[in-house]
A and B are shown apart, each in its own frame.
Chain A
Amino acid sequence: MTQGYHPLVKRLLDGELSLAELPSELRAEGAEALRLVGAADRSPVTLSSALDERVMGTVRRHAASPGQRAWRWLNTPRNIELRLRVRPWTVWAGALAAAAALALLVGRPAPEPVPGAQARGGTRDSVLVRFVLYAPGARRVAVAGTFNQWDRAAAPLMPAGTSGVWTTTLALPVGQHQYAFVVDGARWVVDPGAPAVDDGFGRRNSVVAVTTQGAHL
């Protein structure tokens, strides 16, 4: 059984000491250790030129599969330009109608929020999903996910008073979405009220499935 290296020799290998800084009785051991790490092969490795075409061939097949196309379509954010041709009086009428609707809503007691993602109305192709996180002491909270290309700034949550509860409501397209909360711009937090899956890279993402009947956790 060979004895392990002296701690000072290990510091030599780590680059924290030079051979000359070792006590004289350790220099032979140090020189031997340097021969060991000096044997590491640092020459570059070049892979076969055929690799590019193999990867792109597979990628093209995957991109063409209906499942992949549907998933990408659901997950890819798009810029939508809406052009309207209106008469000016209709703008004022619309604004008055919106103000009246808002006046009806204000004053209604808000339901007590619970952590997690909850669904409400929405359009035929999207559903309003309410995201709630209890994060006392947080300075800012946002939700990022496949629906906003994991943009940490796209969907901030608002604090509900000083209770430590943060909420926001987003219109999500029908489909399955992965997401996580971002606390103070840096800390990723899974939704404690939703199931989570491994993202394959050592982190966890929460999952919400949105259907025309609502959101399902």
Chain B
Amino acid sequence: MGVLLGLEAEATDAEVVRAVLAGDVERYAVLVRRYRDRYARYASRMLGSRDVAEDAVQDALVRAFDRLADCREPDKFAGWLFLILRNRCFAERRGRQRMERSLDSTDEMFAAPDRPDGAYEQVERAQALERALQHLTPEQREVFVLKHTEGLAYEEIAGVTGATVASLKMRMHRAYDRLRELMKEHL
């Protein structure tokens, strides 16, 4: 078993993709183990729920398998899978926005009690930010998550999303203003 794990760890994404395409379906488990958690935080912050994020990651991994023959560059499987997951997260948000439109959620939900406890304030602020992120557009939320949660530079975000650095900065700056408005009770 040790030898098998060693081989799995050494196999490149491209080697695994080619083996799966050649009929060795079980090798796909290597890619599942390799990427199941890597994008979990991104999906979780984008969707505002770990459970919904888990469904999204599961769907993305299954869809990637179904369309593996379309993966133009098997050595860039990670980026290709990210794009599938990203599309899935955007579609999920759009669907939920349609459902939630009638619920008329308001900014009162961010009103925080006035407490002197600093640690409690930090937790409250973090929770308020999580909720506030769900009130941004998906594009604004994505750039905030990739920069301030995942720690990517604008140039790296441009590389994975295909947007220009200038447009990313514009989205982010609008997000800052919107978050300030939504978080005014917590700052």
Q: A residues near B, CB below 8 A?
A: 1-2, 4-5, 7, 10, 13-14, 32-33, 35-37, 39-48, 51-52, 54-56, 58-60, 62-63, 68, 71-72, 75-76, 78, 144, 146, 149-150, 178, 199-202, 205
Given contacts A42-B149, A52-B29, A54-B58, contact A199 B70 (CB under 8 A): yes
Query: 8 A–B contact pairs at CB < 8 A?
Result: A39-B125, A45-B43, A47-B40, A51-B36, A56-B26, A68-B66, A75-B21, A150-B73
Q: A5-B177, A59-B65 are in contact. Are A46 and B37 (CB under 8 A)?
A: yes
| A55 partner residues in chain B, CB cutoff 8 A | 32, 36, 58, 61-62, 65
| Chain B residues with a Cβ under 8 A of chain A | 21-23, 25-26, 28-29, 32-33, 36-37, 40-41, 43-45, 50, 53-54, 57-58, 61-63, 65-67, 69-74, 80, 83-84, 87, 122, 125-126, 128-130, 144, 148-149, 151, 154, 162, 169, 172-173, 176-177, 179-181, 183-184, 186-187
A4 to chain B: closest residue by CB: B177
Chain A residues lying within 8 Å of B71, measured Cβ to Cβ, are 150
> Known contacts A10-B172, A41-B130; can you find 11 more A-B pairs with CB under 8 A?
A7-B173, A36-B176, A37-B148, A39-B122, A45-B37, A45-B43, A47-B54, A55-B65, A150-B71, A201-B80, A201-B87
Interface of B: prevailing SS: helix
Contact assessment for B28 and A59 in the assembled complex, using a CB-CB cutoff below 8 Å: yes
